[in-house]
Amino acid sequence: MTDFPFEHFLSTPEAIDCFSAISLVQAMLDFEAALAHSQAEHRLIPSGAASAIASHCAVNLFDVNRIIADSSHAGSIAIPTVKYLRAAVAVVDVDAARWVHFGATSQDAIDTAMMIVSKRSLAMIDAEVGRIMYALSTLARTHRTTPVLARTLMQAAQVTSFGAKCATWLAPIARSRWALRELSPDALRVQLGGAVGTRSTLGKKADEVARGIATRLQLTHASASWHTQRDRSMRLASELAILAGSLGKFAKDVSLMMQSEIAELSETVEEGRGGSSAMPHKRNPVGAMVAIAASLRAPHRLSAMLAAMSQEHERGLGNWQAELAEWSGLFVSVHGAAHALADMCAMLVVDKQKMRGNIEAQRGLVFTETMSQFLATDLGKSQAEALVAIASRKAIANDSTLLREIVIALRADAMSFGVVDEVALSQLCSVDAAAAQAAWVVDANLAELAAIRALD
C-alpha cells in the first residue's frame, strides 16, 4: 500500500487490489487452467496433463515480484508467468509441462485476465452506484418541493426544488449503470487467437475450446479473436468515463452548495474526515473532492485508449500495452469516485432553512421572469420588461425587494395605476409555489429510469 500513494488516496484498497499484480497473475493462471481443461475435454491434450497444469495454477505458488521484474525484460507479464508455470508443472510431470499454454499466445492470457478482473471491478462499481442511486432517489422524493436557489452561469437564477436537483444528478448516473450492464456481457469476452489470431494450432476444435474457457471463467464466448479489435472494450471504457463525468458533476454541485457562504448542504461530523491541518474549523467535502479528481482524469485515460485503437496488423506494438495501463487506471478511479460519493450521500445533511434564506436574500429577483410575463398581459411586453428591469436595479440599489419596487413604479405611473392586480402580483412571489412547479422534474426523471429499469 506504499506505492503510488495518491492512487490509494483517490480510490479504495479493494479497487486497487482488483488490478494488482497478484490479481492479474492469478487471473492469467485461471485462464491457463481453463484452457487446459477445455482442451482436455475435447481431447487435444491428455486429461492428466490438464489436471497437472490446473493444480499449479495458484498464485501463492509463484514469486509474483519476480514475475513482474522479469516482465520488463520479456516485454509481457504473460511470458514469465507461463515460463514459471511450465517449470512448476515439469517438476511433477515433464510430459504435462509441454502442454502448458498450448495453442495460446501472451495476449490471449493477458486480455482474458483483464476481462476477469474487470468483471469483478464492474460489480464493485455497480454496487457503489446503487448506493448513490438509492440515496439520490430518496432525497428526490423527500425534497420534491423543497425550495432551493437554481443557479445558471454560477449566478442566482430562479427557484427550483432540491428534489429536482437530486433527480437531475441521479438520472445520468442511473443511465450509465444501465448502459454498463448492457455493454458488459458484450465486452467481457474470452480472448483466444493464438499467435496471429487464426487459432491454427487448435484446428477444428478451436471454437469448442474457446466456448469451454468462456463457460469456466464465466465470460462471453468470442467466435473469433479480437487482438486488434478493441471497439467493444472501448465502448465499455467510454461509458465508464461518462459515468465519471456524471459523478463529477454531482460532486461539483454538492461541493459548491457546501461552501461556507452557501451552506445549504454539509456532511455529518466524523472524526478524521474533512479536517484541515491548519484550520480546525473547516469541514472539507472529501467525498466530492475524490469524485471531481476522477472526473478530471477519466477523459485523459479514455483519450489515450481511443488513440491506441489503431493497432498494427494482427498484433499491436506499444498501443495495446498503453491501453492496458490506462484501462486499469480508469476502473480504479471510477470505483474510488463512486465509493466516496456513496459514503458522502450517507452523511449528507440538507439545511432547508439555509436554502430558503439564500432565496430570500435575492430580494425577489428570482421572480423577474414571472413578473414580466404577468405584467405583459396588462402593460404589454416591452413596457413590462422595461419596468421589471428598472425595478430590479432599484431593488439592489435600495436594499429593497423586486415586488416593492414594482408596486411603487405602478402606483407612480398614472397609466398603470390600478391596472395591475397587486394581490395577484404579490402571490407570484411565493417561494413554495415556485418550488412546487419543479416537482414534475422529479416525477419525469424517476419515471424514465423506472421504464429502463435503471433503478433495479
Res. 293: pLDDT tops 60: yes
H helical segments located in 285-430? 286-307, 319-346, 352-360, 368-379, 381-397, 402-412, 422-427
What residues are labeled active site? 276, 315
- Residue type, position 189, single letter: R
Res. 273: pLDDT tops 60: no
Give the closest residue to 112 by CA, choosing from 330, 324, 331.
Answer: 324
Range of lowest pLDDT (255-259, 327-331, 370-374, 414-418): 414-418
Res. 294: pLDDT tops 90: no
pLDDT for 230:
97
Res. 418: pLDDT tops 90: no
Res. 384: pLDDT tops 80: yes
Q: Which three cell numbers stand for residue 152?
A: 445558471
The residue behind cell 425595478 is 391
What's the CA gap between 106 and 164, in Å, rounded?
51
Range of lowest pLDDT (103-112, 355-364, 394-403, 411-420): 411-420
Exposed / middle / buried, residue 284 (Cβ in 10 Å: 0-12, 13-18, 19+): middle
Domains in the chain: boundaries: 1-104+193-225, 119-152+159-189+227-356+437-456, 365-428
Q: Which residues pair with 375 in a beta bridge?
A: none
CATH of 119-152+159-189+227-356+437-456, one of 1.20.200.10, 3.40.718.10, 2.40.40.20, 3.40.50.12240: 1.20.200.10
Other C-beta atoms lying within 10 Å of the C-beta of residue 419 = 11
Res. 275: pLDDT tops 80: no
pLDDT for 271:
52
What's the CA gap between 232 and 184, in Å, rounded?
9
pLDDT for 64:
97
pLDDT for 414:
64
The residue behind cell 440538507 is 350
pLDDT for 276:
43
Question: What integer is the mean pLDDT of 365-379?
Answer: 93
What's the CA gap between 20 and 336, in Å, rounded?
15
Calculate ∠ Cα 299-300-301, nearest 5°.
95
pLDDT for 111:
98
What's the CA gap between 362 and 377, in Å, rounded?
25
- The most distant pair of C-alpha atoms in the chain lies apart, rounded to whole Å, by 108
Question: What integer is the mean pLDDT of 343-367?
Answer: 95
Question: What integer is the mean pLDDT of 249-266?
Answer: 95
Residues 6+ apart with CB under 8 A from 393: none
pLDDT for 455:
63
Calculate ∠ Cα 196-200-201, nearest 5°.
110
Question: What integer is the mean pLDDT of 97-123?
Answer: 98
- Residue type, position 284, single letter: N
The residue behind cell 479528481 is 293
Q: Which residues pair with 147 in a beta bridge?
A: 161
pLDDT for 8:
72
Res. 357: pLDDT tops 70: yes
Q: Do 1-104+193-225 and 119-152+159-189+227-356+437-456 come out as alike in CATH topology?
A: no
pLDDT for 278:
45
319 and 273 in contact (C-beta within 8 Å)?
no
Question: What integer is the mean pLDDT of 349-362?
Answer: 97
Give the closest residue to 233 by CA, choosing from 118, 334, 120, 310.
Answer: 118
Range of lowest pLDDT (116-125, 226-235, 289-298): 289-298
CATH 1.10.275.10 fits 1-104+193-225, yes or no: yes
What confidence tens digit (pLDDT) does each residue in 23-68 have? 999 999 999 999 999 999 999 999 999 999 999 999 999 999 999 9
Please report the sign of the dihedral spanned by the C-alpha atoms of residue 72, residue 73, residue 78, residue 84: negative
How confident is the prediction for the chain on average, in pLDDT? 92
Q: pLDDT-derived band of residue 229, with 50, 70 and 90 as boundaries?
A: very high
Length of the chain (residues): 456
Q: pLDDT-derived band of residue 1, with 50, 70 and 90 as boundaries?
A: very low
What percentage of the chain carries pLDDT values higher than 70?
94
